Amino acid sequence: MSRSILDIGYLPLVDAAPLVVAQKMGFAEAEGLSLNLHKQPSWSALRDGVALGTLDAAQMLSPLPVAMSLGLGGLPTPMDALMVMSVNGNVIGVSNEIAAKMRTGGWQESFRDPLGTGNHLIRATGRRLRIGVPFPFSMHAELVFYWLGALGLKTPGELDVHTIPPPLMSDAIAADEIDAFCVGEPWGSIAVENGTGELILPANAIWAFAPEKVLGARRDWIDEHPGETRALMRAVVGAARWLGAEENRLMASEVLSEPGLIDVPDGVLDRALSGHLIMKSRALSLHTPRFLEFYSSAANFPWRSQAAWIASNIAARVGLDRTDAMRTAMGCFRSDLYRANLADLGIDMPGASAKMEGALSEPTAVASAKGSIILGPDAFFDGTVFDPSPQG
Amino acid sequence: MAEALKILVVEPDEPRARMIMDGLAEAGNVDVTVLGTATGLARRMAEIAPDVVLIAMSNPSRDTLEALSVASGFNDRPVAMFVDQTDDATTRAAIEAGVSAYVVDGLHKDRIKPVLDAAIARFNMFAKLRTELAAAKTALAERKTIERAKGLLMTAKGISEDQAYAILRKTAMDQGRKVSEVAEALVTASDLLR
Phi–psi pair at A387, nearest 5 degrees: -100, 115
Least confident of A26-30, A174-178, A315-319, B54-58: B54-58
How many angstroms separate the Cα of B51 from the Cα of each of A21, A337, B105?
Answer: 44, 44, 9
Residues whose CB falls within 8 Å of the CB of residue B50, separated by 6 or more in sequence, listed in order: B6, B7, B8, B33, B77, B79, B104
Higher pLDDT pick, B163 / B105: B163
pLDDT surpasses 60 at B1: no
Q: Can you tell me whether residue B93 is helix, strand or coil?
A: helix
Does residue B12 surpass a pLDDT of 60?
yes
Spell out the SS3 assignment of A225-254. CHHHHHHHHHHHHHHHHHHHCHHHHHHHHH
For residue B53, give the amino acid letter.
V
The closest alpha carbon to A34, from A64, A7, A9, A61, belongs to A7
pLDDT surpasses 50 at A95: yes
Rounding to the nearest 10 degrees, give the CA dihedral for residues A38, A43, A45, A48.
100
Q: Mark yes or no for CB contact B62/A164 under 8 Å.
A: no
Instruction: Please choose, from the candidates A286, A290, A289, A298, the residue with its C-alpha nearest in 3D space to the C-alpha of residue A352.
Output: A298
Over residues A116-127, mean pLDDT: 93
Closest CA to B168 of B155, B157, B156, B182: B182
CB contact under 8 A, A42 and B59: yes
For residue B71, the surrounding DSSP H or E stretch is none
Q: What tens digit of pLDDT does each residue of A223-253 get?
A: 999 999 999 999 999 999 999 999 999 999 9
Q: What are the chain A neighbours of B64 within 8 Å (beta carbons)?
A: 162-165
pLDDT tops 90 at residue A355: yes
Q: Compute the distance between CA of residue A17 and CA of residue A256 in angstroms, rounded to an integer.
A: 7
- Between chain A and chain B, the number of residue pairs with CB atoms below 8 A apart is 72
**Which whole number is the average pLDDT over A74-81?**
89
Calculate mean pLDDT across residues A63-76.
Answer: 90
ipTM exceeds 0.95, yes or no: no
* Cα A304 to Cα A106, A309, A340, B95, B126, distances in angstroms: 41, 9, 16, 33, 46
Tell me how close the Cα of A283 comes to any Cα of chain B, in angstroms: 31
Q: Which residues of B touch A175 (CB under 8 A)?
A: 39
Q: Give mean pLDDT, residues A321-326.
A: 96
pLDDT at B185 (0 to 100):
93
CB-based contacts of A384, cutoff 8 Å, min separation 6: A358
| Cβ–Cβ gap B83/A41 under 8 Å | no
User: Of B60, B70, B83, which has the smallest distance from its Cβ to A42's Cβ?
Assistant: B60
Per-residue pLDDT, B73: 46
CB–CB of A177 and B40 under 8 A?
yes
Residues 6+ apart with CB under 8 A from B155: none
Residues B114-148 have pLDDT tens digits of: 887 888 888 787 777 778 888 888 888 889 999 99
Specify the range with the lowest mean pLDDT, choosing from A208-222, A361-375, B2-16. Answer: B2-16
* CB distance B116 to B90 below 8 Å: yes
Q: What is the pLDDT of residues B44-94, one digit of tens each?
A: 887 888 888 888 888 888 888 888 777 654 444 556 665 544 566 777 777
- 10 Å CB burial of residue A18 (0-12, 13-18, 19+) is buried
Lowest mean pLDDT among A7-16, A120-129, B102-111, B150-159: B102-111
Separation of first and last alpha carbons in chain A: 49
Mutate to test the interface with A, among B13, B41, B59, B64 (most CBs of A within 10 A): B64
CA neighbor of A279 nearest in space, from A85, A87, A103: A103
Task: Report the percent of chain B where pLDDT is more than 90.
Answer: 22
Determine the pLDDT at residue B72: 53
How do beta strands A90-95 and A79-88 pair?
unpaired
In tens, the pLDDT along A242-289 reads: 999 999 999 999 999 999 999 999 999 999 999 999 999 888 888 999
Find, among A340, A353, A346, A345, the residue nearest to A301 by Cα. A353
- Per-residue confidence (pLDDT) for residue B81, from 0 to 100: 60
In this model, does residue B30 exceed pLDDT 80? yes
Q: For the residues B97-117, what does the mean pLDDT come to? A: 76
Identify the pLDDT of residue B102. Answer: 79
Q: What is the reported pTM?
A: 0.85
**Dist. CA A133–CA A349, nearest whole Å:** 33
Phi, psi (deg, nearest 5) at residue A81: -100, 115
CB A42 to CB B67 under 8 A? no
**Average predicted confidence (pLDDT) for chain A:** 94
Q: Do A74 and B95 touch (CB under 8 A)?
A: no
Nearest CA among A129, A93, A119 for reference residue A277: A93
As a whole number of angstroms, the distance between CA A51 and CA A218 comes to: 7
| Closest chain A CA to residue B58 | A41
Q: What is the pLDDT of residue B79?
A: 62
At how many degrees (to 10) do helices B109-157 and B179-193 cross?
50
Distance between CA atoms of residues A269 and A255, nearest Å: 10
Determine the Cα–Cα distance for residues A73 and A250; give it in Å rounded to an integer.
38
Contact criterion met (CB < 8 Å) for B67 and A168: no
CA dihedral A41, A44, A47, A51 (to 10 degrees): -120
Q: What is the mean pLDDT of chain B?
A: 81
Gap between the Cα atoms of A272 and A384, Å rounded: 27
* A251/chain B closest Cα distance in angstroms: 29
For residue A21, the model assigns a pLDDT of 97
Residue A59's identity, in one-letter code, is: Q
Tell me, what's the pLDDT at B63?
87
In this structure, how many other beta carbons lie within 10 angstroms of the beta carbon of residue B194? 5
With pLDDT > 70 as the criterion, what percentage of chain A qualifies?
A: 99
Edge-first strand listing for the sheet containing B30-35? B30-35, B5-10, B52-56, B99-104, B79-81
Residue B184: pLDDT band (50, 70, 90) is: very high
